[in-house]
Amino acid sequence: MHEPLGKHAFYGVGGPADEFWTVDTSEKFGEIWAETIALGMPKLILGKGSNLLMSDRGFRGRVFCFEFQNVEWKDNFVTVEVGKNWQAFVEETNEHGFEDLCNLSGIPGNVGGFVRGNAGAFGIETADFVKSVEYIDESGMIQRASKNDCQFSYRESIFKSHPDWCITKVTFELTKKTDPNKALQQSKTLLADRWQKYPPGKSGGSFFKNPEGNFAGKLLEEAGAKGDRIGNAQISEKHANFILNLEGKATQDDILSLARKWKDIIKRDSGIELQPEIFICDEFGERIEL
């Protein structure tokens, strides 16, 4: 009860949740999920807390943190529960001799968040390897969706537009066999390189999506965004698409004010409307629009 959400999110921003549930198995979760929906309570699935900006006013409902993370292999198919840390999962696929997911190494999050948001890098996306998804619907029943049913697109999936559906397991199909040591080294090298490029300090990762044919960071840098500050929020001097929480003292309003300022400037100067990659959450679980 009244668990501070700031300590569970990369941004370090977020007041207390009315209820905070740690879930270690998916077997009985359907009952709790259906009850939460039937009661009309705000709800939030909290993964590793990246790509998320919570409200300083906290959360007036139930926050669920998944710790179930079993992995099952059958030839080149692997089924993994959504609480599994993504980097640990990538390295496990490497140890089995697959290099398919190497380019997605180093991005913070868990398996559920990667699938829901169709995370991607270096020309590949999570959806490229998804075979099927198991989820719990609004009535607490287990359902299965094929890759096509998931309606994947750039940083999107059907699960984003159906907040009453909760992913529990994902089956991936891998095809690129290689030497396990080579694959593991490739992932670990990319992990180190990626974290070296990330600006130091608290942030939720890239704040804006890359518009088609362009890069949000490039647009912001060319517009002079680097180093700009409102309150205790500052655009990184190292990468213009990162908004930092200085000394852990920034509020959600500080970060939103800075993001809105530069979104408006980019729109005015280039006609391009940047969209947040970060999920900006109010105290009732609704998305805050910039």
The enclosing domain of 105 has a CATH number of: 3.30.465.10
Between the CA atoms of 8, 13, 17 and 20, what dihedral angle is there, to the nearest 10 degrees? -10
Which positions ≥6 away from 205 have C-beta within 8 Å? 10, 50, 51, 107, 108, 242, 277, 278
Helix, strand, or coil (residue 114): helix
**Would you state the pLDDT for residue 25?**
87
211: in domain: no
- Same domain (yes/no): 107, 42: no
Q: Based on the residue annotation, tell me whether 155 is a catalytic residue of this protein.
A: yes
Give the containing element (helix H, strand E) for 203: none
209: in domain: no
272: in domain: yes
Range of the domain at 231: 216-278
Residue 29 CA to residue 140 CA, distance in Å, equals 8
- Same domain (yes/no): 108, 128: yes
**Would you state the pLDDT for residue 168?**
97
Residue 64 half-sphere exposure toward CB, CA atoms < 13 A? 22
Name the pTM for this structure: 0.89
Q: Based on the residue annotation, tell me whether 91 is a catalytic residue of this protein.
A: no
The whole-number mean pLDDT for each consecutive block of 10 residues of the chain, a chain of 290 residues, reads: 90 96 90 96 91 96 95 97 96 97 93 95 95 97 97 95 96 96 95 85 93 95 97 96 96 98 97 95 94
Residue 19 CA to residue 142 CA, distance in Å, equals 24
177: in domain: yes
The catalytic residue among 62, 206, 236, 283 is 206
**Would you state the pLDDT for residue 198?**
83
- Same domain (yes/no): 93, 130: yes
- Same domain (yes/no): 106, 163: yes
Q: Based on the residue annotation, tell me whether 206 is a catalytic residue of this protein.
A: yes
- Same domain (yes/no): 155, 88: yes
Final residue belonging to a domain, choices 25, 42, 66:
66
The catalytic residue among 3, 105, 155, 283 is 155
The answer to whether 142 and 136 have CB atoms below 8 angstroms apart is yes
Which positions ≥6 away from 239 have C-beta within 8 Å? 197, 198, 199, 217
Q: What is the tally of structural domains in the chain?
A: 3
Q: Strand 243-245: give its sheet, edge to edge.
A: 229-230, 233-235, 243-245
The catalytic residue among 3, 81, 92, 277 is 277
The answer to whether 38 and 87 have CB atoms below 8 angstroms apart is no
- Same domain (yes/no): 164, 185: yes
